[in-house]
Structure 1
Amino acid sequence: MRVVMFGYQTWGHRTLQALLDSEHDVVLVVTHPKSEHAYEKIWSDSVADLAEEHGVPVVIRNRPDDEELFARLKEADPDIIVANNWRTWIPPHIYNLPRHGTLNIHDSLLPKYAGFSPLIWALINGESEVGVTAHMMDEVLDAGDIVQQHAVPVGPTDTTTDLFHKTVDLIAPVTIGALDQIASGQAEFTKQDRSRASFFHKRAEEDIRIDWNWPADVLERLVRAQSAPYPSAFTFHRGKRLEILSAVVSEGRYGGTPGRIFYREGEGVVIVAGADARTGLNHGLAITRVRTEDGRELPATAYFTSMGGYLVARP
C-alpha cells in the first residue's frame, strides 16, 4: 500500500523504520519541528532525518490544517495514513482522505489511557500491564476501532524508561500486523468499550510535585515513573527544592503528619505519608537517594543528617 506517515520523536521514528522495512511504499512523511518542551526532548530520534536518509519527501508542521499540506497529501495519493505520536488534532478531511482511512498507533491498551504520557500515568496508577494499540482514527481522539493490540507486563521495580523500551519494541509488529490485516481486505475491527475509556493530559511541572497526602505506594510509583531521563519528582526542604531519585515503601508503619522526616530504616529515611497518617496504620516512603537544588546527588541518609522537620509541596 501507498503510505503517508504522520509522526514525531522515537515513537514516530520506530514506526517509520517499520514501514520502510516492510513491503509498503512510504510516499510522504509529515512531522513536527523540534521542540524545547521537557518531555518532547526525551526519546527525540528524528523522523525527518530518517525520511530524508531514505529519499522520502518530508513536510514539517505544528498543525496539519493548511491548504498547501492538503494539496501535498492529495498529490501523494495514499492508500492509508499511519500516525504515531502526532501531537495535534488531525481534521476529518485529512484522516478520511486515504482509501483506507488513517491508522493511529498509541502506546497504551486502549480504551484506557488515551491522550498523553500514557506510560507514566499507567505506572503511577499501578497498572499490571501496558502496551501498544493500532486503531482506526475517527472524530474522537484515540477512540476508533482497534485493529491490533499487544500487551507487556509491568514489573514490580519497572520505571517508565523500562516500560518505554518494552513497548517501543511492539511498534513494528503492531503496525505492520495491522496494515497486513487492512491490506488483506479486512474492514471490520473491534469496537472500543467507551465505558472503560480514560483520557489524560500532558505532564507538566505540577504533576511531578510530591503531595505527601498520597499513600506511600503511589508515591513510590511516582518516583519510578519520573526516573531519568524524565524530570524527577520533587519536594521542598527548608525552602529549597529537593528531587527524589529513588525510594521504597517502608517496612514499618508510621503515624503522624504527612511530610514528616521521621525515621531511618535500612538504607532509607522514612517520610510519613497518606492523608490518614494520623491513624498510624500507613507505611511511609523510605527515600534512598536525592538530588539537591545545586545538583548534588547523594544517599538520603547522608542528606538527612538528623530527623525532624517536614518536606512540603512549596517553599
Structure 2
Amino acid sequence: MGAAARKGAVVFAYHSVGVRCLKVLLAGGVDVRLVVTHEDNPAETIWFESVVALCQAEGIAYITPPDARSAELLARVQAARPDFLFSFYYRHMLPAELLAVAPAFNMHGSLLPQFRGRAPVNWAVLHGAGASGATLHEMTVKPDAGAIVAQTAVPILPDDTAFEVFGKVTVAAEQTLWTVLPALLDGTAARLPNDLGQGGYFGGRKPEDGRIDWRLPAQTVYNLHRAVAPPYPGAFTEVNGVTYTIERARLSPRPAGSLPPGLAVVDNCVFGVCGDGRMLAISALTAGGAAVTAAQLQDSLAAAPGAH
C-alpha cells in the first residue's frame, strides 16, 4: 500500500487488547495519528501490557484525558482528520460527537450479543459459559449494540480462570482484527446483525462481589473463584474477623459428609464446603496477602466455631 493511500486512524486503547490491536493496525499499514489512553490507576494491580509504552516505542502521539467528553479532546480528534476511529478496551464510552468524526469500531471481549457491557470475560466464567471470544463491531452511543464486523471464538475449559481466558481473548482480538482489516480499510467488510434480543448486558464488578456464599452449589462457588482468581481481587470469606482469599482451588470429588457449609480442614487439607454437599479443594489460601496453612486455619476455625 503506497503512502498516499494509507488510511489514518485515531485509536482509543488500553490493556493488552489495546496493545495487540494497535500492533495489528501498524503492521497493516494504518497511519495511527493519535492514541487516547488512560493513566494507570495506582490502586489497581497492573498485570497487563502498556499502551503508553508502545506509543513511546513507536513514536506515536498519545494523550490521557480524564474522560472522553471534553471539547479539547473532540478538537484534537477532529484535527487528526482520521478515516477511522477504533476503540480497543478503552474504558470510557465515546459520546455521539466523537462517533460522528469518522466510522468507529470497537473490539469487545465476548461473542456478541452475549455478555455485552463491562468485564465480559469475568461474567462469562462466572456464568459457566463454555466459550468466549472477541467481536469487532460498529460503535453506537448504546454500548456493544452496533453491527458485527467479525468475531473469533475461544473455548472456556472447565478449570480455566478468567485470567487464562483473557489471554485467549487477547489473541482472538488480534486474529479478528488482522483477518478483517484489509476489507475494513477498502470498504468491503461485511456487517452482521447484532441481535440485542439475545444475550444480556452486564455492569462492572467490584472486589466486594467476590464474597462467597457457601450455601450455594459447589459449581457456582467454583465459577466465582475462577472468575475473580488472581490477578483479580479473588473470592473471599470471613472467619472470626479474618478475611481469607482463595488463590487456587479445584472441585473435589470428595463428599462433604456432615460438614457444615464454609471453610474446613480435613486430613490437613483445606476445603470449602458448599450447600449441595460438594467441596472445593483449596490448594492456596491467603489472609492479608500472606499464605495460610491448614494448621493455621484449623486454629482459627477452632476459635470461632460456626462462624465460617
Contact 2:229 2:246 in 1 (8 A): no
Consecutive unaligned residues of structure 2, counting only runs of 5 or more, are: 1-6
Distance in 2 between residues matched to 1:247 and 1:301, nearest whole Å: 18
Contact 2:265–2:297, Cα closer than 8 Å, also in 1: no
The answer for the alignment partner of 2:207 in structure 1 is 205
The answer to whether the aligner puts 1:85 opposite 2:89 as a matched pair is yes
* Counterpart among 156, 159, 165 of residue 157 in structure 1: 159
1:26 — aligned with what?
A: 32
Q: CA deviation at 1:261?
A: 4.5
Query: Which residues of structure 1 form unaligned runs of 5+?
Result: none
Distance 1:18 1:158 in 2: 27
Take 1:300 and 1:166, find their aligned partners in 2: how far apart are those partners?
34
Determine the structure 1 residue equivalent to 2:179: 177
Question: Is residue 143–residue 192 contact of structure 1 (8 Å, CA) maintained in 2?
Answer: yes
CA gap 1:85/1:242 in 2 versus in 1, 3 angstroms? same
Q: Which residue of 2 aligns with 1:76?
A: 80
| Residues 258 and 27 of structure 1, relative CA distance in 2, 3 Å threshold | farther
- The residue number in structure 2 matching 1:309 is 305
How many aligned positions are there? Answer: 300
- Is this contact kept in 2: 1:84–1:104, CA < 8 A? yes
CA contact (8 A) 1:258 1:271 kept: no
TM-score after normalising by structure 2: 0.88
Percent identical across equivalent pairs?
32
CA distance 1:271–1:251, shift in 2 (3 Å): same
Using a 3 Å threshold, how does the CA distance of structure 1 residues 82 and 128 change in structure 2: closer, same or farther? same
In structure 2, distance between residues paired with 1:92 and 1:80: 15
| Distance across 2 between alignment mates of 1:36 and 1:219 | 30
Cα shift at 1:133 = 0.6
TM-score, normalised via structure 1 length: 0.86
CA gap of 1:243–1:62, structure 2 versus 1, over 3 A, is same
The list of structure 1 runs, each at least 4 consecutive aligned residues, that deviate by more than 6 angstroms after superposition, is none
Q: CA deviation at 1:237?
A: 1.3
The one-letter code matched in structure 1 to 2:217 is P
DSSP 3-state at the match of 1:144? coil
Q: Is the 8 A contact 1:134 1:147 kept in 2?
A: yes
Deviations 1:21-53 (A, max 9, x none): 222111111112221343xx3334221231232
Whole-Å separation in 1 of the counterparts to 2:43 and 2:197: 32
Q: Which residue of 2 aligns with 1:285?
A: 280
SS at match of 2:253: strand
